[in-house]
Chains A and B, each alone.
Chain A
Amino acid sequence: MAVPQQGNAARRAESDRAESYHAQRRLSVFKASPATYAVLLVVSALFFVPFVLMISISLASDQTSAENAFTVLPTEFTWTNFTGVFTDTGLPVGRFVANSVLIATLSAFGQVLSSSLVGYAFARLRAPGKGVMFIIVLATMMIPAQITMIPQFLLFKELGWVNTYLPLIVPNFFTNAFNVFLVRQFVSRISKELDEAAQVDGLGHFGVYRRIILPMMWPILTAIAIFTLTHAWGDFMGPLIYLNSEESMPLALGLQFMTDTSNAMQLPPWNLVMVGSILLTLPMIAIYYLGQKYLYEMNLQGGSAGVK
């Protein structure tokens, strides 16, 4: 049993926060043993190894990576790969990046626009049949994308959209169930007094959405934008199905083409592929750190099983 120590009297004088911190310190279950540190150090190191390899190989010269692939410490460092990735792969890598940016930003714009409209309606407007519609929204979350993949492909092929960005972008303008749910939850928590007052002052339903609710929605819309950006940026299967010309590929798919070699004996240019992987990764890390608190917001709204 833990015995209260002498020094605690003085500590109790401190703020509640400090007190609870020190109270927590007494509990044996929170005691970190050397084994705790050992495990955490080993695991963190293991989790970091792929990053180390990604960076070190990206800095390796062609000779180093061809002779000895295990270049945690390349014999000669070179930054030329970071420009070489755009010039030496025989693929339009600059185009890949531009395509990725275009697809991801337009997708995010579409999701933000459509989910805010639909979520607002489900949170605020009354209409017969609304309950049923919302149940349908929730039910559609259960349908795996593979079910609709083939008919959608045939539809887009019929429309002549194959090998354009449209199949990857346009569906985002029709929102998805999860984002509708997030916006609806968020708007439901905004007090109704403001929009009632605005209606008295003569704003219609669209006016209330545009002038009152939309400006207050930005935390959840930022979260949705980040989520969509991340998803569209990293999507592999969609571009693989719809895009077959090099000029139109996003980076995620283009990387795969970078590893294709003309014959089995030839090694892929791993140093350039790793530079490409870094190009693919860095924006996602940057976006995460910029938008961290909004993602937290989304977790809260999504109510992911009571996660704080």
Chain B
Amino acid sequence: MTNAVDAPGAVRSARRAGRRAPRRKASRRARKEAMYFWLFISPWLIGFLGFLLGPMIASVYISLTEWDSFTPPEFVGFANYTKALTEDPVFWKALSNTFYYALVSVPLGLVIGVWLANLLNKRVRGRKLFRTFIYLPTLVPLVATAMVFKMVLAPSGPLNELLGWFGVQGPDWLLDATWIKPALVVLSAWGAGGATVLLLSAMNGIPRELYEAAEIDGASPWRQFWSVTFPQITPVIFFNLIMGLIGAFQIFSQVYILTVATGSVGGPNNASQMMVTLLFREAFSFYHFGYASAIAWLLFLVILAFTLIAFRTARNWVFYETEVR
């Protein structure tokens, strides 16, 4: 109410403030605006303090304790971290599995994405149709995707049925330590359409003159791809690489759904135990909240390290047009 009455006066007085500078009135208005600012951002601020900063600090403390949430926490210093890094073989297995998954699935997805985008960027009839077919899988919720793969890879599932036609006895894919990780990689490759579409739109934006010049110079299509197309799409590749790595290090749902039937999450003999599935098991099956929190921080460090490495190397291979101009 008072607002509506005050505001015109405030604006007029502010105009006068511009000329004659009665400081007090201007600052009262500024204080009011500042108050509104804090009021407007209060949802985020409360969320930040209550759901992020508070829990983060708590997480640091919990990671230094042994705690099952029923008995009082016992301070153990860095014991949880040293346990993960020196005593627990499952942690190292989970770490190496996560590395394997991230470092195979993310580059593979990008190679497929660049390859398909390059094909779709040609004068293809039915380009829209092909693009739809390739993009459609990315709209399927991960849980539904995992269900289809779980069904296809079941011991008597479609894939083994198909192999049977050729006289091949297929393995029990999801129960077999050799096959579970490749299965997860194939599942992630099914979502390569997301990167494809982003890369395709980046390719559409490349100035045609560059290709015309290359053509006049007699460059082959292969050479044109590596000298014109590829440098121009490196920013998008870089973006997808970073987001892909961050996502891949946090892989959880697929692993859980595909391996939960084998008795314990993480597959036979922890063959597909990942950082987050291990964290989940330690926290919510065993109530080792201290140890699980330590794993969470180690995961954060891994993600941070890879992000930094990616940004470090970026200047050697990511091309930004603005740098040239």
Contacts and interface: CB of A to CB of B under 8 A. Distances in A.
Interface of A: 1-2, 20, 23-25, 27-32, 36-37, 39-40, 43-44, 47-48, 50-51, 53-54, 57, 68-72, 114, 117-118, 120-122, 125-128, 130, 133, 136-137, 140, 142-155, 157, 171, 173-176, 180, 199-207, 209, 230, 233-234, 236-237, 240-241, 252-253, 255-256, 259-261, 264, 267, 270, 273-274, 276-278, 280-281, 284-285, 288, 299, 304-308
A277 B147 contact: yes
A259 B146 CA distance: 12
A69 B154 contact: yes
A136 B44 CA distance: 11
A94 B3 CA distance: 49
Contacts of A44: 129-130, 133-134
A308 to B, nearest CB: 5
Contacts of B50: 174
B237 to A, nearest CB: 9
Interface stretch (B17-25, B77-85, B92-100, B253-261): B253-261
A303 B284 CA distance: 38
A29 B224 contact: yes
Interface stretch (B103-111, B176-184, B214-222): B214-222
Nearest to A152: B55
B152 interface: yes
Given A40-B130, A121-B37, A255-B144, A31 B221 contact: yes
Contact of A147 (B59, B141, B145): B59
Contacts of A155: 54-55
B296 A54 contact: no
Given A29-B224, A69-B151, A146-B299, A118 B201 contact: no
B266 interface: no
B151 A274 contact: yes
A174 B7 contact: no
Given A146-B296, A155-B55, 6 more contacts: A30-B121, A47-B190, A151-B55, A176-B47, A205-B33, A305-B238
B99 to A, nearest CB: 16
Nearest to B30: A126
Contacts of B148: 50, 53-54, 274, 277
A288 B261 contact: no
A153 B236 CA distance: 36
A236 B119 contact: no
Interface string B33-68: 110111011011111101110111011001000000
B151 A273 contact: yes
Nearest to A175: B44
A53 B151 contact: yes
A285 B139 contact: yes
Given A27-B211, A47-B136, A150-B62, A174 B43 contact: yes
B122 A281 contact: no
A121 B161 contact: no
A259 B150 contact: yes
Contacts of B91: none
Contact of A151 (B59, B161, B235): B59
B289 A47 contact: no
B151 A270 contact: yes
B285 to A, nearest CB: 11
A256 B150 CA distance: 11
Q: How large is the interface on B (under 10, 10 to 19, 20 to 34, 35 or more residues)?
A: 35 or more
B300 interface: yes
B58 A151 contact: yes
B297 interface: yes
Given A144-B250, A274-B151, A305-B239, A37 B124 contact: yes
Given A70-B162, A117-B43, A305-B235, A143 B215 contact: no
Contacts of A126: 30, 33-34, 37
Contact of A29 (B141, B157, B221): B221
B101 interface: no
A118 B47 CA distance: 12
B7 A203 contact: yes
B283 interface: yes
Interface string B217-250: 0100100110011000001101100000010011
Contacts of A173: 43, 47
20 contacts: A20-B208, A27-B208, A27-B212, A29-B215, A32-B122, A32-B123, A47-B136, A50-B145, A53-B148, A69-B151, A69-B158, A71-B158, A125-B33, A125-B36, A151-B54, A252-B141, A259-B257, A277-B143, A306-B202, A307-B236
Contacts of B134: 43-44, 47
Contacts of B208: 20, 23-24, 27
B133 A237 contact: no
Interface in B255-271: 256-257, 260-261
A230 B208 CA distance: 37
A66 to B, nearest CB: 10
Nearest to B284: A241
B90 interface: no
Which residue among A68, A143, A205 has the maximum number of chain B CB atoms within 10 Å of its CB? Answer: A205
Nearest to A306: B235
Which residue among A25, A39, A53, A151 has the maximum number of chain B CB atoms within 10 Å of its CB? Answer: A151
B8 interface: yes
